[in-house]
Amino acid sequence: MKDSNLFDKLSFRLEELSNLPKIDDGVSISTLIEEKGFSRREFMGWAAAMTSMLMLPASFTPLVAKAAEMADRLPLVWLHMAECTGCSESLLRSSSPTIDSLIFDYISLEYHETLMAAAGWQAEQNLEHAMEKYKGKYILMVEGGIPQGESDFYLTVGAHGKTGEQHAKDAAQNAAAVFAIGTCSSFGGVQAAAPNPTNAQPLSKITDKPVINVPGCPPSESNIVGTLLHFILYGTLPALDIYNRPKWAYGLRIHDACERRGRFDAGEFVQQFGDEGAKKGYCLYKVGCKGPYTFNNCSKQKFNQGTSWPIQAGHGCMGCSEPDFWDTMGTVHEPLANRLYHTTFGGLGSDATADKIGLGLLSVTAVAIAAHAAISVVKKPKV
Protein backbone atom coordinates (compact mmCIF):
# COMPACT_ATOMS: atom_id res chain seq x y z
CA MET A 1 0.00 0.00 0.00
CA LYS A 2 1.24 3.47 -0.84
CA ASP A 3 2.15 5.67 2.10
CA SER A 4 -0.47 8.26 1.22
CA ASN A 5 -3.23 5.64 1.13
CA LEU A 6 -2.12 4.27 4.45
CA PHE A 7 -1.97 7.77 5.87
CA ASP A 8 -5.56 8.42 4.80
CA LYS A 9 -6.71 5.10 6.13
CA LEU A 10 -5.14 5.68 9.54
CA SER A 11 -6.42 9.23 9.70
CA PHE A 12 -9.92 7.95 9.02
CA ARG A 13 -9.56 5.32 11.71
CA LEU A 14 -8.48 7.89 14.28
CA GLU A 15 -11.30 10.17 13.21
CA GLU A 16 -13.74 7.33 13.88
CA LEU A 17 -12.16 6.60 17.25
CA SER A 18 -12.31 10.22 18.30
CA ASN A 19 -16.06 10.07 17.92
CA LEU A 20 -16.26 7.30 20.52
CA PRO A 21 -17.03 8.39 24.04
CA LYS A 22 -14.03 8.83 26.31
CA ILE A 23 -13.80 6.82 29.47
CA ASP A 24 -13.05 9.94 31.46
CA ASP A 25 -14.44 13.18 30.11
CA GLY A 26 -12.60 15.23 32.71
CA VAL A 27 -9.10 14.95 31.32
CA SER A 28 -7.50 14.50 27.97
CA ILE A 29 -4.18 12.81 27.60
CA SER A 30 -2.65 16.04 26.28
CA THR A 31 -3.49 17.87 29.48
CA LEU A 32 -2.21 14.93 31.48
CA ILE A 33 1.06 15.09 29.60
CA GLU A 34 1.40 18.72 30.55
CA GLU A 35 0.56 17.95 34.16
CA LYS A 36 3.27 15.33 34.27
CA GLY A 37 5.74 17.97 33.20
CA PHE A 38 6.26 17.02 29.56
CA SER A 39 6.29 19.67 26.90
CA ARG A 40 4.45 19.12 23.63
CA ARG A 41 7.88 18.94 22.04
CA GLU A 42 8.99 16.06 24.26
CA PHE A 43 5.74 14.28 23.56
CA MET A 44 6.26 14.67 19.80
CA GLY A 45 9.81 13.41 20.25
CA TRP A 46 8.46 10.30 21.91
CA ALA A 47 5.86 9.91 19.17
CA ALA A 48 8.62 10.14 16.55
CA ALA A 49 10.57 7.40 18.32
CA MET A 50 7.44 5.22 18.47
CA THR A 51 6.75 5.92 14.78
CA SER A 52 10.15 4.63 13.82
CA MET A 53 9.77 1.65 16.15
CA LEU A 54 6.48 0.79 14.46
CA MET A 55 8.32 0.99 11.13
CA LEU A 56 6.14 3.79 9.81
CA PRO A 57 7.43 6.69 7.71
CA ALA A 58 8.48 9.77 9.69
CA SER A 59 5.58 11.75 8.25
CA PHE A 60 3.24 9.57 10.33
CA THR A 61 4.49 11.02 13.63
CA PRO A 62 1.42 13.25 14.13
CA LEU A 63 -0.82 10.19 13.68
CA VAL A 64 1.08 8.24 16.31
CA ALA A 65 0.81 11.19 18.67
CA LYS A 66 -2.90 11.31 18.02
CA ALA A 67 -3.20 7.57 18.55
CA ALA A 68 -1.58 7.96 21.96
CA GLU A 69 -4.15 10.58 22.77
CA MET A 70 -6.91 8.15 21.76
CA ALA A 71 -5.73 5.63 24.33
CA ASP A 72 -8.29 7.02 26.73
CA ARG A 73 -11.02 5.29 24.74
CA LEU A 74 -9.76 1.87 25.67
CA PRO A 75 -10.63 0.01 28.86
CA LEU A 76 -8.06 -2.66 29.62
CA VAL A 77 -8.50 -6.03 31.31
CA TRP A 78 -5.28 -7.84 32.29
CA LEU A 79 -5.52 -11.48 33.40
CA HIS A 80 -2.90 -13.50 35.27
CA MET A 81 -2.64 -17.21 34.42
CA ALA A 82 0.27 -19.57 35.17
CA GLU A 83 2.92 -16.90 35.35
CA CYS A 84 5.57 -15.14 37.42
CA THR A 85 4.27 -11.52 37.19
CA GLY A 86 7.46 -10.51 35.35
CA CYS A 87 5.43 -9.11 32.45
CA SER A 88 3.41 -6.92 34.83
CA GLU A 89 6.65 -5.76 36.39
CA SER A 90 7.99 -4.91 32.96
CA LEU A 91 4.90 -2.84 32.34
CA LEU A 92 5.70 -0.78 35.45
CA ARG A 93 9.21 0.06 34.23
CA SER A 94 8.33 2.43 31.41
CA SER A 95 10.57 4.29 28.99
CA SER A 96 11.89 7.77 29.14
CA PRO A 97 10.04 10.05 28.95
CA THR A 98 7.53 8.16 31.00
CA ILE A 99 4.76 8.46 28.47
CA ASP A 100 4.49 4.71 28.19
CA SER A 101 3.49 4.56 31.80
CA LEU A 102 1.36 7.62 31.38
CA ILE A 103 -0.70 5.71 28.87
CA PHE A 104 -1.04 2.93 31.35
CA ASP A 105 -1.88 5.32 34.16
CA TYR A 106 -4.36 6.86 31.86
CA ILE A 107 -5.96 3.90 30.19
CA SER A 108 -8.70 2.64 32.40
CA LEU A 109 -7.10 -0.39 33.95
CA GLU A 110 -10.28 -2.22 34.92
CA TYR A 111 -8.76 -5.41 36.24
CA HIS A 112 -5.16 -6.21 37.12
CA GLU A 113 -4.61 -8.48 40.11
CA THR A 114 -1.17 -7.14 41.01
CA LEU A 115 -2.14 -3.49 40.99
CA MET A 116 -5.82 -3.26 41.91
CA ALA A 117 -6.86 -2.15 45.39
CA ALA A 118 -9.96 -4.38 45.57
CA ALA A 119 -9.70 -8.08 46.50
CA GLY A 120 -12.00 -11.10 46.69
CA TRP A 121 -15.64 -10.46 45.76
CA GLN A 122 -14.93 -6.82 45.00
CA ALA A 123 -12.20 -7.81 42.55
CA GLU A 124 -14.52 -10.30 40.87
CA GLN A 125 -17.20 -7.64 40.60
CA ASN A 126 -14.76 -5.28 38.91
CA LEU A 127 -14.01 -7.89 36.28
CA GLU A 128 -17.66 -8.75 35.62
CA HIS A 129 -18.56 -5.09 35.53
CA ALA A 130 -15.85 -4.27 32.99
CA MET A 131 -16.71 -7.19 30.74
CA GLU A 132 -20.39 -6.25 30.78
CA LYS A 133 -20.08 -2.49 30.52
CA TYR A 134 -17.40 -2.45 27.85
CA LYS A 135 -18.60 -5.53 25.97
CA GLY A 136 -16.85 -5.69 22.63
CA LYS A 137 -14.78 -2.63 23.44
CA TYR A 138 -12.15 -3.61 25.97
CA ILE A 139 -8.61 -4.72 25.26
CA LEU A 140 -7.64 -8.04 26.82
CA MET A 141 -4.05 -8.69 27.78
CA VAL A 142 -3.19 -12.08 29.23
CA GLU A 143 -0.01 -12.95 31.11
CA GLY A 144 0.94 -16.58 31.66
CA GLY A 145 0.40 -20.02 30.17
CA ILE A 146 -2.96 -21.71 30.70
CA PRO A 147 -3.42 -25.24 32.12
CA GLN A 148 -5.89 -26.71 29.69
CA GLY A 149 -8.44 -29.50 29.32
CA GLU A 150 -8.21 -32.28 31.87
CA SER A 151 -5.45 -30.35 33.62
CA ASP A 152 -7.37 -27.08 33.89
CA PHE A 153 -7.63 -27.47 37.69
CA TYR A 154 -3.98 -26.48 38.06
CA LEU A 155 -5.27 -22.92 38.15
CA THR A 156 -8.48 -21.62 39.71
CA VAL A 157 -9.46 -18.05 40.54
CA GLY A 158 -12.29 -16.77 42.74
CA ALA A 159 -14.65 -18.13 45.36
CA HIS A 160 -16.44 -20.29 42.79
CA GLY A 161 -13.19 -22.01 41.87
CA LYS A 162 -13.49 -21.03 38.21
CA THR A 163 -10.57 -22.32 36.19
CA GLY A 164 -8.04 -20.03 34.58
CA GLU A 165 -8.92 -21.57 31.23
CA GLN A 166 -12.58 -20.57 31.59
CA HIS A 167 -11.65 -17.08 32.77
CA ALA A 168 -9.44 -16.55 29.71
CA LYS A 169 -12.07 -17.95 27.35
CA ASP A 170 -14.83 -15.75 28.73
CA ALA A 171 -12.73 -12.61 28.77
CA ALA A 172 -11.54 -13.18 25.21
CA GLN A 173 -15.06 -13.73 23.91
CA ASN A 174 -16.15 -10.11 24.03
CA ALA A 175 -12.82 -8.32 23.78
CA ALA A 176 -12.13 -5.83 21.00
CA ALA A 177 -8.61 -7.19 20.71
CA VAL A 178 -6.67 -9.94 22.44
CA PHE A 179 -2.97 -9.77 23.19
CA ALA A 180 -0.84 -12.54 24.65
CA ILE A 181 1.75 -10.69 26.69
CA GLY A 182 5.00 -12.55 27.21
CA THR A 183 6.34 -15.89 26.09
CA CYS A 184 4.12 -17.93 28.46
CA SER A 185 0.89 -16.53 27.09
CA SER A 186 2.25 -16.52 23.53
CA PHE A 187 3.78 -19.98 23.44
CA GLY A 188 3.20 -21.68 26.82
CA GLY A 189 6.52 -20.60 28.32
CA VAL A 190 8.52 -22.20 31.08
CA GLN A 191 5.68 -24.33 32.48
CA ALA A 192 5.05 -25.72 28.99
CA ALA A 193 8.68 -26.83 28.64
CA ALA A 194 8.99 -30.58 28.26
CA PRO A 195 7.29 -32.58 29.63
CA ASN A 196 4.70 -29.85 30.31
CA PRO A 197 3.24 -31.50 33.43
CA THR A 198 0.23 -29.18 33.71
CA ASN A 199 -0.56 -29.15 29.98
CA ALA A 200 0.02 -25.39 29.90
CA GLN A 201 -1.07 -23.91 26.58
CA PRO A 202 -0.70 -20.58 24.83
CA LEU A 203 -3.70 -18.26 24.80
CA SER A 204 -4.16 -18.90 21.07
CA LYS A 205 -5.02 -22.55 21.89
CA ILE A 206 -7.66 -21.50 24.42
CA THR A 207 -9.73 -19.04 22.44
CA ASP A 208 -11.04 -18.94 18.87
CA LYS A 209 -10.41 -15.22 18.71
CA PRO A 210 -7.35 -13.96 16.87
CA VAL A 211 -4.46 -13.48 19.29
CA ILE A 212 -1.49 -11.20 18.76
CA ASN A 213 1.61 -12.59 20.45
CA VAL A 214 4.00 -10.22 22.21
CA PRO A 215 6.61 -12.68 23.48
CA GLY A 216 9.75 -12.08 25.52
CA CYS A 217 10.63 -13.10 29.05
CA PRO A 218 9.44 -10.51 29.79
CA PRO A 219 8.79 -8.36 26.70
CA SER A 220 9.98 -4.77 26.93
CA GLU A 221 7.32 -2.27 27.85
CA SER A 222 7.91 -0.55 24.50
CA ASN A 223 6.73 -3.65 22.72
CA ILE A 224 3.62 -3.87 24.90
CA VAL A 225 2.75 -0.20 24.39
CA GLY A 226 3.67 -0.29 20.71
CA THR A 227 1.27 -3.18 20.16
CA LEU A 228 -1.48 -1.18 21.76
CA LEU A 229 -0.73 1.94 19.71
CA HIS A 230 -0.68 -0.14 16.59
CA PHE A 231 -4.14 -1.42 17.38
CA ILE A 232 -5.42 2.08 17.95
CA LEU A 233 -3.92 3.25 14.68
CA TYR A 234 -5.08 0.42 12.45
CA GLY A 235 -7.94 -1.21 14.30
CA THR A 236 -6.85 -4.46 12.68
CA LEU A 237 -4.18 -7.04 13.21
CA PRO A 238 -0.68 -5.78 12.47
CA ALA A 239 1.50 -7.56 9.92
CA LEU A 240 2.50 -10.74 11.70
CA ASP A 241 5.21 -13.32 11.28
CA ILE A 242 4.56 -17.05 11.28
CA TYR A 243 4.32 -17.00 15.07
CA ASN A 244 1.75 -14.17 15.09
CA ARG A 245 4.27 -11.69 16.40
CA PRO A 246 4.01 -8.11 15.10
CA LYS A 247 6.66 -7.73 12.44
CA TRP A 248 7.49 -4.18 13.45
CA ALA A 249 8.84 -5.48 16.76
CA TYR A 250 9.92 -9.02 15.95
CA GLY A 251 10.99 -8.64 12.33
CA LEU A 252 14.56 -7.91 13.29
CA ARG A 253 17.13 -10.55 14.10
CA ILE A 254 19.02 -9.70 17.32
CA HIS A 255 22.27 -10.58 15.58
CA ASP A 256 21.74 -8.13 12.72
CA ALA A 257 21.65 -5.01 14.87
CA CYS A 258 23.92 -6.26 17.66
CA GLU A 259 26.49 -3.86 19.06
CA ARG A 260 29.03 -6.71 19.00
CA ARG A 261 28.32 -7.61 15.37
CA GLY A 262 31.59 -6.05 14.23
CA ARG A 263 33.44 -8.41 16.57
CA PHE A 264 31.63 -11.36 15.03
CA ASP A 265 32.55 -10.27 11.52
CA ALA A 266 36.15 -9.76 12.64
CA GLY A 267 36.22 -13.23 14.18
CA GLU A 268 36.80 -11.92 17.70
CA PHE A 269 35.06 -14.18 20.19
CA VAL A 270 34.81 -14.53 23.95
CA GLN A 271 36.11 -18.05 24.57
CA GLN A 272 35.01 -18.21 28.18
CA PHE A 273 33.33 -15.79 30.56
CA GLY A 274 35.74 -13.42 32.28
CA ASP A 275 38.56 -13.79 29.71
CA GLU A 276 40.39 -10.93 27.96
CA GLY A 277 37.88 -11.02 25.10
CA ALA A 278 35.05 -10.55 27.59
CA LYS A 279 36.76 -7.44 28.96
CA LYS A 280 37.06 -6.07 25.42
CA GLY A 281 33.47 -6.76 24.41
CA TYR A 282 34.07 -9.55 21.89
CA CYS A 283 31.22 -11.52 20.32
CA LEU A 284 29.41 -13.94 22.65
CA TYR A 285 28.46 -16.50 20.01
CA LYS A 286 30.89 -19.14 21.27
CA VAL A 287 29.61 -18.83 24.84
CA GLY A 288 26.10 -19.59 23.71
CA CYS A 289 24.55 -16.39 22.33
CA LYS A 290 21.30 -17.22 20.54
CA GLY A 291 21.09 -13.79 18.89
CA PRO A 292 21.44 -15.31 15.41
CA TYR A 293 18.24 -17.34 15.90
CA THR A 294 16.18 -14.80 17.78
CA PHE A 295 13.83 -12.17 16.42
CA ASN A 296 13.23 -9.15 18.63
CA ASN A 297 14.21 -5.50 18.84
CA CYS A 298 16.31 -5.74 22.06
CA SER A 299 19.49 -4.73 20.28
CA LYS A 300 17.80 -1.48 19.22
CA GLN A 301 15.45 -0.73 22.11
CA LYS A 302 17.39 -2.17 25.06
CA PHE A 303 15.76 -2.26 28.53
CA ASN A 304 15.12 0.04 31.50
CA GLN A 305 15.30 3.36 29.67
CA GLY A 306 18.14 2.15 27.50
CA THR A 307 20.28 1.27 30.52
CA SER A 308 21.47 -2.03 29.11
CA TRP A 309 20.53 -5.38 27.60
CA PRO A 310 21.89 -8.87 28.17
CA ILE A 311 24.56 -8.73 25.47
CA GLN A 312 25.86 -5.42 26.78
CA ALA A 313 26.09 -7.06 30.22
CA GLY A 314 28.31 -9.73 28.67
CA HIS A 315 25.78 -12.56 28.57
CA GLY A 316 24.49 -14.03 25.33
CA CYS A 317 20.90 -13.81 24.20
CA MET A 318 18.89 -16.82 25.42
CA GLY A 319 16.30 -16.62 22.67
CA CYS A 320 13.43 -15.85 25.04
CA SER A 321 11.02 -14.52 22.44
CA GLU A 322 11.14 -17.69 20.33
CA PRO A 323 8.56 -20.47 20.66
CA ASP A 324 9.60 -23.26 23.04
CA PHE A 325 13.04 -21.75 23.46
CA TRP A 326 13.61 -23.69 26.70
CA ASP A 327 13.55 -26.88 24.64
CA THR A 328 14.85 -25.76 21.28
CA MET A 329 17.79 -23.49 22.07
CA GLY A 330 20.05 -26.11 23.61
CA THR A 331 22.51 -25.38 26.38
CA VAL A 332 22.55 -21.76 27.32
CA HIS A 333 26.33 -21.35 27.29
CA GLU A 334 27.14 -23.41 24.21
CA PRO A 335 26.64 -22.40 20.59
CA LEU A 336 23.73 -24.14 18.93
CA ALA A 337 25.78 -25.05 15.90
CA ASN A 338 27.80 -27.46 18.04
CA ARG A 339 24.69 -29.51 18.62
CA LEU A 340 22.78 -31.93 16.49
CA TYR A 341 19.68 -30.42 14.98
CA HIS A 342 17.38 -33.34 15.45
CA THR A 343 17.74 -32.97 19.21
CA THR A 344 17.45 -29.21 19.36
CA PHE A 345 14.77 -28.59 16.79
CA GLY A 346 13.19 -32.01 16.94
CA GLY A 347 9.74 -31.15 15.68
CA LEU A 348 8.77 -29.20 18.76
CA GLY A 349 6.50 -26.22 18.66
CA SER A 350 2.87 -25.39 18.50
CA ASP A 351 2.68 -25.39 14.74
CA ALA A 352 4.42 -28.27 13.05
CA THR A 353 4.33 -26.75 9.58
CA ALA A 354 5.71 -23.46 10.76
CA ASP A 355 8.30 -25.38 12.67
CA LYS A 356 9.50 -27.27 9.68
CA ILE A 357 9.90 -24.06 7.75
CA GLY A 358 11.61 -22.43 10.72
CA LEU A 359 13.81 -25.47 11.15
CA GLY A 360 15.02 -25.28 7.58
CA LEU A 361 15.72 -21.58 7.74
CA LEU A 362 17.43 -21.74 11.08
CA SER A 363 19.55 -24.73 10.13
CA VAL A 364 20.85 -22.94 7.05
CA THR A 365 21.55 -19.81 9.06
CA ALA A 366 23.14 -21.72 11.90
CA VAL A 367 25.40 -23.71 9.64
CA ALA A 368 26.41 -20.56 7.80
CA ILE A 369 27.14 -18.83 11.08
CA ALA A 370 29.13 -21.74 12.43
CA ALA A 371 31.13 -21.91 9.24
CA HIS A 372 31.70 -18.19 9.33
CA ALA A 373 32.74 -18.32 12.95
CA ALA A 374 35.20 -21.08 12.26
CA ILE A 375 36.61 -19.46 9.13
CA SER A 376 37.01 -16.03 10.62
CA VAL A 377 38.83 -17.44 13.60
CA VAL A 378 41.25 -19.30 11.35
CA LYS A 379 41.75 -16.28 9.14
CA LYS A 380 42.34 -13.73 11.85
CA PRO A 381 43.75 -15.27 14.98
CA LYS A 382 43.25 -12.19 17.13
CA VAL A 383 43.39 -12.17 20.89
Partner 1 sequence: MSKRVIVDPITRIEGHLRAEVIVGDDGVVQDAFVSSTLWRGLEVIAKGRDPRNIPLMMQRICGVCTYSHYLKSTMAVEDALGITIPYNAELVRTLMNAALFMHDHVVHFYHLHGVDWVDIVSALSADERKASELAFKYCDNPIGTGENELKLVKEKIAKFAKNPQGLGPFANAYWGHKTFKFTPEQNLIALSHYLKALEVQRTLAQLMAIFGGKQPHPQSLVVGGVTCVMDILNPARMGEYLVKFQGIADFINNAYYPDIVMAAEMYKTEPSVMKPMGVKNFMAHQDFMVGRGEYLFNSGIIMNGDLSKLLEIDEDMITEEATHSWYKNDKALHPYNGETEPNYTGFVDGETVGPDGEMVKTKQIDESKKYSWIKSPRYNGEPMEVGPLASILVGYVSGNTKVTAVVDGFLAKTGIPTAALFSTLGRTAGRMLQAKLIADNALIAFSNLIENLKVDQETCATYIIDKDKEYKGRGIGDVPRGMLSHWIRIKNGVVENYQAVVPSTWNAGPMDSKGAKGPYEADLIGLKIQDLTQPLEIIRIIHSYDPCIACAVHVMDTKGNKLSEYKVDPLYGECSI
* Near partner 1 in 311-350, by CB under 8 A: 311-315, 318, 326-327, 331-333, 343, 346-348
Q: Which helix (H) or strand (E) covers residue 217, if one does?
A: none
Binds partner 1 by CB under 8 A, chosen from 266, 281, 300, 370: 281
Q: Which stretch binds partner 1 (CB under 8 A): 236-244, 250-258, 267-275, 359-367?
A: 267-275
> Does residue 271 bind partner 1 (CB under 8 A)?
no
Long-range contacts of 61-67 (CB under 8 A, 24+ apart): 63/7, 63/10, 63/11, 63/14, 63/233, 64/229, 64/233, 66/14, 67/14, 67/229, 67/232, 67/233
Judged by CB under 8 A, which of 16, 24, 256, 265 binds partner 1? 24
- Residue 195 interacts with partner 1 (CB under 8 A): yes or no: yes
Is residue 161 close enough to count as binding partner 1 by CB under 8 A? Answer: yes
H or E, element range at 324 = none
**Closest distance between partner 1 and the C-beta of residue 144, in Å?**
9
Direct distance between the N- and C-terminal alpha carbons of the chain, in angstroms, rounded to an integer: 50
Give the Cα separation of 54 and 33 in Å (integer): 22
Contact between 12 and partner 1 by CB under 8 A: the answer reads no
Residue from 160, 208, 353, 383 that binds partner 1 (CB under 8 A)? 160
> 22: exposed, middle or buried (C-beta count within 10 Å: 0-12, 13-18, 19+)?
middle
Residue 224's closest CA among 137, 325, 94, 134? 94
353 scored as a contact of partner 1 (CB under 8 A): no
Residue choice 254, 297, 309, 337 for contact with partner 1 (CB under 8 A): 309
Residue selected from 2, 4, 26, 381 as contacting partner 1 according to rule CB under 8 A: 26
- Verify binding: residue 354, partner 1, rule CB under 8 A: no
* Interface pick for partner 1 out of 6, 7, 11, 23 (rule CB under 8 A): 23
Compute how many other C-beta atoms are within 10 angstroms of the C-beta atom of residue 358: 20
**Alpha-carbon dihedral sign for residues 212, 218, 189, 296:** positive
**Residue among 124 and 170 whose Cβ is closer to partner 1:** 124
Compute the least distance from the CB of residue 371 to partner 1, in Å: 25
Tell me which residues in 92-131 interact with partner 1 (CB under 8 A).
92-94, 98, 101, 107-110, 112-126
* Of 159, 208, 381, 383, the one binding partner 1 by CB under 8 A: 159
- In sequence order, the 6+-apart residues with CB closer than 8 A to the CB of 233 are 10, 13, 14, 54, 63, 64, 67
Q: How many amino acids of this chain bind partner 1 (CB under 8 A)?
A: 95
